[in-house]
Structure 1
């Protein structure tokens, strides 16, 4: 079932969301100072491309630096990536088939706003 949902997700929303994260990652990797945010953006692009069967968990040992990094992330890229998830989630929820995908899209909003200090792991 996860594979089927991932394929439908990829066609309807995942590809464009992943392109947005990859674009943000490339922009953030231009400057040396923002490379950690670029790496986080590429990690999120992978998650946005194929989200079903994976989940987000807090990273052990993440502290104040992750919080400060997330504040910078929201300013640089997080707000418009979260907006992309909200818009695509609303559009997906307009159809019955898209409702589970829209709910998954809404679940990705918090991590799109604060990706540092989080790990993406496979669900058993």
Structure 2
């Protein structure tokens, strides 16, 4: 990982990244406890790690990246995303939005606010996403 990404990730953790990653992991644990929520738990754990260290990585559509559709990118994935949105997605997105607004007030926090806004979008519709190196 380039030095700039390391520096940005350290600053990110200080400016809300750690708390938001914990929020994702709490959602994942709650989903895993229900057993039925295991598919959402896996996605939430992966995105939680991405939320902890987002610089140097990016979230992409799995079918675009792999060139083929699977269960998570089909109609079942859409149904799964709707269920996720109702159960956990809206409050994670709201937490990212609140954090983004707080960071956007400061000039130095604007890049981090932008990253939180991207994560808010992912929080609403995470199934079918894949975290890959930004290179």
TM-score after normalising by structure 1: 0.97
**2:15 aligned to 9, 12, 15, which one?**
12
Query: What residue in structure 1 maps to residue 102 of structure 2?
Result: 91
Deviation at 1:98, TM superposition (A): 0.6
Deviation at 1:24, TM superposition (A): 0.7
Query: What residue in structure 2 maps to residue 50 of structure 1?
Result: 53
* Structure 2 unpaired stretches of 5+: 64-68
Measure, in 1, the Cα distance between the counterparts of 2:84 and 2:61. 17
The question of 1:104 aligning with 2:115 is answered yes
Deviation at 1:107, TM superposition (A): 1.2
Aligned length: 124
Measure, in 2, the Cα distance between the counterparts of 1:102 and 1:67. 27
Measure, in 1, the Cα distance between the counterparts of 2:13 and 2:110. 15
Measure, in 2, the Cα distance between the counterparts of 1:82 and 1:107. 10
Deviation at 1:18, TM superposition (A): 0.6
Query: What residue in structure 2 maps to residue 70 of structure 1?
Result: 81
The question of 1:29 aligning with 2:36 is answered no
Query: What residue in structure 2 maps to residue 122 of structure 1?
Result: 133
TM-score after normalising by structure 2: 0.89
Local SS of the residue matching 1:116: coil
* Structure 1 unpaired stretches of 5+: none
Deviation at 1:2, TM superposition (A): 1.5
Deviation at 1:59, TM superposition (A): 1.0
